[in-house]
Chain A
Amino acid sequence: MKMTDIMPPGLALKKVDERIMTLNVGPQHPGSGHMRIVVQIDGDYIVACDPDPGYVHRGEEKMAEYRNYITNVPHLERPVIHDSCNVLYPYVLGAEEILGIEVPERAKYVRVICSELNRCIYTMYWLAIYGIFLGHSTMFMWPAGDRELLIDLMEKVSGARVTHAHFIPGGVRNDLPANFEDVCLRQVNYFEKRIKEYAAVFYDNPILISRTQDTGVLSRENAIRYGTTGSVLRASGVDYDLRVKAPYDVYDELDVHTNVMKEGDSYARSKVPWLDMMESCNIIRQALQKMPKSGSVRTKLKPNPKTKGPATVYKRVESGRGSLGCYIVSDGKTEPYRVKMSVPSFRNLLAMPNLLIGEKLGNMPSVYWSLNYWPVEADR
């Protein structure tokens, strides 16, 4: 259907460029987050969209060139503080390869547990904001309250609520606290029971379905062409999860199931992260079972560790938003020559202008946030 067919005749007679209005959404807007989206609307329909990120561009990559491999850890996790373990993970894997250190077996399992807990913490926050973007206050309160359970667990492990700086080159900063396994198992089981209840209040809610189904449809071909990743890609029917396809650390010893949906609309994109959280609970239970019960969790390094010589590494992990890569160029000095974070939010951003064209303006928040987008990470 062409837009002019459903316009009132008086409007349709006008020349197109007289009807078009340019609208700034953000950075101070309840539906924009930390960025500005410039949209041009014709009546209620978006005809052009130009995302304008960079409001939180803090120059992390430049700063990384002035710090050594260990002191880079705290500031490189700041792009996504509620997913701080995963955002550090590829950097830590790359630094280990460049520094030439082995990681103890127990540390790898601790990393997997922390990484999965963080994925849930991230996704719950994302879900809470998605709820409030759609005006669904219950869906803000429930996830925002339930994620505190897992934050408590991570606080026991690392001592901080969100910024853990727990993964370091050589392992993890400290061992799991005493009796952690029991507490973790209990909390995770309760957490899984809770998130299953979200289906009734959110995912089976007819209002939500009518607002998100068939909006912002991303076809399989376009999902691949735009280079999207993570839940956006899996919601468009591409079976790709790095934990299965290119397992790192001990993921190859764990049984990971990939959730794929075919529809590619906002509804599918909002449902895949929720299914992934249940999968995370499974992985945590497996890892707790298989983890060596004792042993070292950290290969000690000198304060200013020496590299093995010039090298380049590119490591990828599956974060809460998708494949997160870190490209490190080392010239043999104690500081990296160049660190590049290939972040999933930045990659998914490319899909946004293409998805929004032809949508109603009212659907913009639901399409935008369903891209699993965290602006701070995209800007770095």
Chain B
Amino acid sequence: MSSDSEKPQTEVKAEEKPTPPKPAPKPAAKVEEKPVELPAFEKGISDKLIEKFGDKVEVDFVKEDRVGIKTSKESVHDVAQFIRDDLHYDHAESVTGVDFPAENEIEVVYHLGSYTESSLARQVLTLSTRAPRESTPIPGQDSTKLPSLRDIFYSVEFGEREVFEMLGVYFDGHPDNRRLLLPEDWADLPPLRKDFAIKGR
């Protein structure tokens, strides 16, 4: 399973950073040398998305069993609808929030899978989108908001609630944006933000 972790470059990319963009300059020399052979089936999935949405989606990576799609917060709802109806992904495995203070953004990653389509059983589609980040968050009331995908993938319900309390990303259209795991009297920063430091570190 431990294959090459370098992301193969795809034709849409045309430029910059791999998924976790980081402030420090990285050893970028060896990446672009030879075009890597992309797995055909996974390439087909990403091609379908490009064909439909054009430059609204950006293919993050295509590797064995994994396809990564990036999109803006305006079009994430439409892209998710297309993924469910036409690509037959039917459930979300997890909703992850990743904080990028250097770019002033919070990334929300949906890992989507399929039980019904047997050819997709190995596949995981990574749909990521980004919300603006504020340095002093007021969860629920500031500009850190994203459209909820709960009406498309019911299974994101608890995942989005967790991202809301852990990173302060409010999901518009989610029926139940309450606290899930943290104590009721939690008044600090959302704990998974990078500027929330744990004691002694």
Contact = CB atoms under 8 A, between A and B. Distances in A.
B22 interface: yes
Nearest to A246: B122
B158 A349 contact: yes
B198 to A, nearest CB: 6
A62 B191 contact: yes
B126 A314 contact: yes
A98 B6 CA distance: 9
Contacts of A313: 5
A100 B127 CA distance: 25
A338 B96 contact: yes
Nearest to A170: B2
Contact of B158 (A61, A338, A346): A346
- Which of B4, B5, B99, B162 gathers the greatest number of chain A CB atoms within 10 Å? B5
B113 to A, nearest CB: 8
Interface in B173-195: 180-183, 191-192
Contacts of B99: 338
Interface string A126-145: 00000000000000000000
Interface string A322-366: 010101011110000110101000110110000000000000000
A203 interface: no
Interface in B43-102: 61, 65-66, 68, 90-94, 96, 98-99
Interface string A48-61: 00000110010101
A63 B124 CA distance: 26
A53, A311, A349: most-surrounded residue (chain B CB, <10 A): A311
Interface in A96-117: 96-98, 100-103
Interface stretch (B33-41, B139-147, B149-157): B149-157
B94 A342 contact: yes
A47 to B, nearest CB: 17
A245 B96 CA distance: 24
Given A325-B111, A338-B98, A310 B26 contact: yes
Dominant secondary structure of chain B at its interface with chain A: loop
B26 A332 contact: yes
A60 to B, nearest CB: 11
Contacts of A248: 1
Contacts of A93: 1-2
B5 A311 contact: yes
B2 A101 contact: yes
B81 to A, nearest CB: 15
Nearest to B165: A54
A350 B150 CA distance: 12
A331 B101 CA distance: 13
Contacts of A311: 5-7, 18-20
A159 interface: no
Contacts of A379: 181
B191 A342 contact: no
B136 interface: no
Contacts of A54: 180-183
A350 B2 CA distance: 32
Given A54-B183, A331-B20, A331-B22, A227 B65 contact: no
**5 A-B pairs with the lowest CB-CB distances in the bound complex, closest first:** A227-B155, A342-B94, A54-B181, A227-B91, A245-B121
Given A226-B155, A313-B5, A323-B93, 9 more contacts: A53-B181, A54-B180, A100-B4, A233-B115, A238-B115, A312-B20, A312-B68, A314-B124, A342-B96
28 contacts: A54-B181, A62-B196, A66-B201, A97-B2, A98-B5, A100-B5, A102-B2, A224-B90, A225-B90, A226-B154, A226-B155, A238-B115, A246-B122, A310-B20, A311-B5, A311-B7, A312-B18, A312-B19, A314-B66, A314-B126, A325-B93, A325-B111, A327-B109, A329-B19, A330-B20, A337-B20, A340-B94, A347-B155
Interface of A: 53-54, 57, 59, 61-63, 66, 93, 96-98, 100-103, 224-227, 229, 233, 238, 240, 245-246, 248-249, 308-316, 323, 325, 327, 329-332, 337-338, 340, 342, 346-347, 349-350, 379
